[in-house]
């Protein structure tokens, strides 16, 4: 039974209307969520808590939601946690008066820094009872920690963490806890530390919070009229919020609007707006042009060149547009014509990387184009030969504080979609219509701005020619997209069946390359003794928030790269694997060193196989604990534009594996992989 529809008993008697939300109450909910694996229960605990916030302290709904999804702000604000273990250990030691050695020993034994903090805090006798932590206070404290920069930043971060920890678990201090029993307990110190590490590990996915939030608000609204929502009322609220969030992924904008206008009026009040980046639509890999023809049989589609650069979502509002940027990202470019921003695939603000693009952008805009959001690829450009350059060239461009006059790697922007124009969201318009608008609103300028090359054809030979031409002109292959009807609408954050990618170099392999997280390394042998010679890689399982190992890799690295990697990785060595790493426990399978999860690498493989040594998608393939692993993996490049959580997912890997199996065994089609 959905508990959110049940009990009316007040589970937090100390929390009175209008008073700040106690952090302890949120931790009690976290603990309940941690103790169950049942989806409905998780969602119910979450929604019940949010209903309580709505009833008692609605003005703190926003920080509550943010802490539940383990974020401090929308992605484009660039405020992130993921604090390294060594700083956290230092803060635990200093705030609880236990020696760093004790903390390190505990960490070796327990393996979960959150529990180490809980234990240390519970051992500490306190003279006076600190003021209880509040949700808003913890959010503010974490925000301060995340945004500290400049000289002495590390020390000041430690101070910030100490401040939070010294106020945590006031009720338990000095009592001691039994770690085994208290694993899922509601310790505030535990959840603060996990939040700092960037992983709450409650099994609480963001989409569950979104659904719970919609339900809670609908319950709350209807309760005011003495009514209880029906299943269809809840579904309506849920669909509305999901759809609004996909166009405007910013709780900072949505939550106040929900409270002001009510959930059912949200669509009218919250639409895609320049200034808030959307999560980009993604494509499914295909292995051949015939597969494309099979998938799109009977439909009209278009084949665009697949440029090899980095994704760039460009937002612009002219000064005379009678419209403002919803939220101006920190590095917004301002010209006499308007305000503009460039965001990455990750919704990271790239404006500091591209001052040259921001400066020229107003010159590409036709008279009458007042505001827009473009989906583009930014590609390195050879000004002498007048052609695109490989991605590797783009990588040599500085990422931050770029001065326009010092730029050596020029880029050309290739626009392939338009999502918003002159005050109107276009995501629910056909691609054919969007493209017309795109062509009509901009001027192409050679080497600066162009509309992606395309051909609308269903003919296999013509597609083959387009593919060959795209490769000859330095592209990776083709993006094939449905042209008409709802199937051609822009689907933010979805890996869609309606966008297919055909890359030149995977026509013969398993399909796409993989993006994997580096978890560990082995010391090199022979010539490579001063660096790491091989690495342990993992995919990500968003359902469990775990990294599941998938292969060791030692191929594809030049000596120069090995040296750079050694420098990067030695900064983030940790003593033992994080509790959210899933790997074989066999002695001979352990790497020489473990790392914080930070770097994502693109890797190619010959094929996939099952192995007891690795854990990738082990639950999904259900083969007695064996995971999927890569045969003959090869390093391609670092993916600085991807966060570890954006690595290939276990589900994607399971899908690739079953596709490979279905080729050999002729099984049916495999599962989908939408967010």
Residue 256 tokens, joined: 């106040």
For ligand ATP (CB under 6 A), the number of binding residues is: 13
Closest separation in Å from C-beta 601 to ligand ATP:
12
Distance between CA 612 and CA 643 in Å, rounded? Answer: 27
Quick one: 416 or 599, whose CB is closer to ligand ATP? 416
Quick one: 261 or 637, whose CB is closer to ligand ATP? 637
Distance between CA 356 and CA 320 in Å, rounded? Answer: 23
Closest separation in Å from C-beta 306 to ligand ATP:
4
Quick one: 287 or 345, whose CB is closer to ligand ATP? 345
Per-residue DSSP letters for 112-179?
Answer: -HHHHHHHHHHT---SSPPPPPBHHHHHHHHHHHHH--STTHHHHHHHHHHHHHHHTTTTTTTS---H
Closest separation in Å from C-beta 359 to ligand ATP:
23
Closest separation in Å from C-beta 416 to ligand ATP:
4
Residue 151 tokens, joined: 């000289």
Closest separation in Å from C-beta 312 to ligand ATP:
8
Distance between CA 125 and CA 257 in Å, rounded? Answer: 45
Closest separation in Å from C-beta 513 to ligand ATP:
7
Active site residue 306: yes
Closest separation in Å from C-beta 227 to ligand ATP:
44
In terms of C-beta density within 10 A (0-12 exposed, 13-18 middle, 19 or more buried), how is residue 96 classed?
A: buried
* 42 touches ligand ATP by CB under 6 A: no
Quick one: 119 or 643, whose CB is closer to ligand ATP? 643
Three-class SS of 304-357: EEECCCEEEEEEEEECCCCCCCCCCCCCCEECCCEEEEEECCCCCECCCCCHHH
Quick one: 306 or 659, whose CB is closer to ligand ATP? 306
* 501 touches ligand ATP by CB under 6 A: yes
Nearest to 311 by CA among 244, 375, 220: 375
* 345 touches ligand ATP by CB under 6 A: yes
Quick one: 42 or 282, whose CB is closer to ligand ATP? 282
* 659 touches ligand ATP by CB under 6 A: no
Q: What is the number of residues in the chain?
A: 675
Helix (H) or strand (E) holding 673: none
Q: How far is CA 79 from its chain centroid?
A: 13
Q: Which of 157, 190, 306, 501 is catalytic?
A: 306
* 479 touches ligand ATP by CB under 6 A: yes
Residues within window 294-323 making contact with ligand ATP, judged by CB under 6 A: 304, 306-307, 311
Q: Using CB under 6 A, which of 30, 191, 296, 416 touches ligand ATP?
A: 416
**Residue with the shortest CB distance to ligand ATP:** 311
Quick one: 561 or 636, whose CB is closer to ligand ATP? 636
Strand partners, 593: 521
Closest separation in Å from C-beta 147 to ligand ATP:
28
Closest separation in Å from C-beta 375 to ligand ATP:
7
Quick one: 326 or 379, whose CB is closer to ligand ATP? 379
Distance between CA 106 and CA 96 in Å, rounded? Answer: 14
Q: Using CB under 6 A, which of 83, 282, 321, 514 touches ligand ATP?
A: 282
Quick one: 106 or 377, whose CB is closer to ligand ATP? 377
* 287 touches ligand ATP by CB under 6 A: no
Quick one: 28 or 341, whose CB is closer to ligand ATP? 341
Nearest to 654 by CA among 540, 563, 557, 572: 540
Closest separation in Å from C-beta 479 to ligand ATP:
4
618 CB contacts (<8 Å, ≥6 apart)? 548, 582, 625, 626, 627, 628
Residue 564 tokens, joined: 């750079």
* 247 touches ligand ATP by CB under 6 A: no
* 643 touches ligand ATP by CB under 6 A: no
* 601 touches ligand ATP by CB under 6 A: no
Query: CA distances (Å), 52 to each of 64, 70, 185, 435, in order?
Result: 11, 20, 21, 47
Stretch that binds ligand ATP, among 162-170, 243-251, 254-262, 278-286 (CB under 6 A): 278-286
Q: Using CB under 6 A, which of 112, 169, 197, 377 touches ligand ATP?
A: 377
* 192 touches ligand ATP by CB under 6 A: no
Stretch that binds ligand ATP, among 68-76, 280-288, 426-434, 586-594 (CB under 6 A): 280-288
Stretch that binds ligand ATP, among 55-63, 170-178, 279-287, 459-467 (CB under 6 A): 279-287
- Inter-axis angle of helices 206-223 and 231-247, nearest 10: 130
Strand partners, 310: 378
Quick one: 201 or 279, whose CB is closer to ligand ATP? 279
What single DSSP character describes residue 612? T
Nearest to 441 by CA among 422, 428, 460: 422
Distance between CA 538 and CA 515 in Å, rounded? Answer: 9
* 435 touches ligand ATP by CB under 6 A: no
Q: Using CB under 6 A, which of 62, 73, 283, 357 touches ligand ATP?
A: 283
Distance between CA 278 and CA 246 in Å, rounded? Answer: 7
**Phi-psi group of 597: left, alpha or beta (phi > 0 → left; psi -120 to 50 → alpha; rest → beta):** beta
Task: Say whether 450 sits in a helix, a strand or coil.
Answer: strand
Answer whether 510's CB lies under 8 Å from 607's CB: yes
Closest separation in Å from C-beta 311 to ligand ATP:
3
Residues within window 436-475 making contact with ligand ATP, judged by CB under 6 A: 452
Name the residues annotated as catalytic. Answer: 306
Interaction site with ligand ATP (CB under 6 A): 280, 282-283, 304, 306-307, 311, 345, 377, 416, 452, 479, 501
């Amino acid at each position: 039974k959905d508990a959110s529809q049940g009990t009316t008993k007040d589970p937090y008697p100390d929390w009175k209307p209008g008073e700040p939300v106690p952090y302890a109450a949120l931790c009690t909910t976290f603990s309940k969520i941690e103790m169950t694996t049942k989806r409905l229960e998780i969602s119910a605990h979450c929604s019940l808590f949010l209903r309580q916030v709505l009833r008692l302290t609605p003005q703190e709904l926003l920080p509550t939601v943010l802490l539940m999804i383990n974020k401090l702000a929308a992605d484009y604000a660039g405020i992130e946690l993921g604090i390294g273990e060594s700083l956290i250990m230092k803060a635990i030691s200093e705030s609880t008066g236990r020696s760093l050695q004790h903390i390190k020993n505990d960490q070796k034994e327990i393996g979960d820094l959150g529990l180490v903090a809980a234990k240390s805090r519970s051992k500490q006798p306190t003279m006076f009872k600190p003021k209880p932590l509040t949700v808003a206070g913890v959010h503010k404290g974490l925000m301060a920690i995340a945004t500290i920069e400049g000289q002495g930043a590390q020390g000041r971060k430690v101070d910030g963490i100490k401040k939070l920890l010294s106020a945590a678990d006031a009720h338990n201090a000095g009592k001691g806890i039994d770690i085994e029993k208290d694993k899922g307990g509601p310790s505030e110190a535990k959840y603060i530390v996990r939040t700092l590490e960037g992983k709450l590990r409650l099994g609480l996915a963001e989409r569950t919070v979104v659904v719970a939030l919609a339900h809670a608000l609908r319950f709350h609204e209807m309760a005011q009229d003495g009514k209880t929502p029906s299943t269809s009322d809840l579904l309506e609220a849920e669909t509305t919020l999901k759809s609004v969030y996909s166009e405007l992924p910013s709780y900072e904008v949505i939550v106040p609007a929900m409270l002001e206008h009510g959930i059912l009026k949200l669509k009218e009040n919250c639409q895609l707006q320049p200034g808030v980046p959307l999560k980009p639509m993604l494509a499914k890999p295909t292995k051949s042009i015939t597969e494309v023809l099979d998938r799109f049989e009977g439909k009209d589609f278009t084949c665009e060149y697949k440029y090899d650069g980095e994704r760039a979502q460009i937002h612009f509002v002219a000064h005379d547009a009678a419209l403002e940027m919803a939220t101006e990202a920190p590095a917004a470019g301002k010209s006499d014509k308007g305000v503009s921003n460039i965001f990455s695939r990750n919704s990271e603000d790239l404006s500091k990387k591209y001052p040259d693009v921001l400066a020229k952008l107003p010159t590409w805009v036709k008279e009458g184009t007042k505001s827009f959001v473009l989906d583009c690829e930014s590609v390195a450009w050879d000004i002498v030969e007048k052609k695109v350059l490989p991605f590797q060239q783009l990588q040599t461009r500085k990422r931050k504080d770029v001065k326009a006059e010092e730029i050596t790697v020029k880029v050309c922007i290739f626009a392939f979609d338009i999502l918003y124009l002159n005050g109107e969201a276009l995501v629910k318009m056909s691609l054919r219509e969007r493209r017309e608008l795109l062509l009509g609103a901009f001027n192409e300028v050679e080497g600066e701005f162009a509309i992606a090359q395309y051909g609308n054809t269903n003919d296999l030979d013509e597609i083959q020619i387009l593919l060959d031409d795209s490769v000859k002109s330095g592209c990776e292959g083709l993006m094939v997209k449905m042209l008409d009807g709802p199937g051609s609408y822009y689907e933010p954050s979805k890996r869609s069946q309606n966008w297919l990618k055909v890359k030149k170099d995977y026509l013969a392999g398993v399909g796409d390359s993989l993006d994997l997280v580096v978890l560990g390394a082995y010391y090199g042998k022979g010539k490579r003794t001063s660096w790491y010679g091989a690495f342990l890689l993992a995919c990500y399982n968003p359902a469990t928030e775990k990294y599941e190992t998938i292969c060791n890799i030692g191929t594809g690295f030049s000596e120069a790269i090995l040296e750079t990697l050694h420098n990067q990785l030695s900064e983030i060595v940790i003593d033992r694997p994080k509790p959210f790493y899933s790997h074989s426990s066999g002695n001979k399978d352990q790497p020489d060193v473990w790392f914080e999860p930070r770097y994502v690498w693109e890797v190619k493989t010959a094929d996939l196989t099952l192995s007891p040594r690795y854990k990738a998608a082990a639950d999904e393939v259900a083969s007695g604990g064996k995971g999927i692993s890569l045969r003959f993996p090869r390093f391609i490049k670092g993916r600085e534009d991807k966060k570890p959580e954006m690595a290939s997912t276990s589900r994607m890997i399971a899908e690739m594996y079953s596709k490979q199996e279905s080729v050999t065994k002729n099984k049916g089609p495999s599962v989908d992989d939408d967010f």
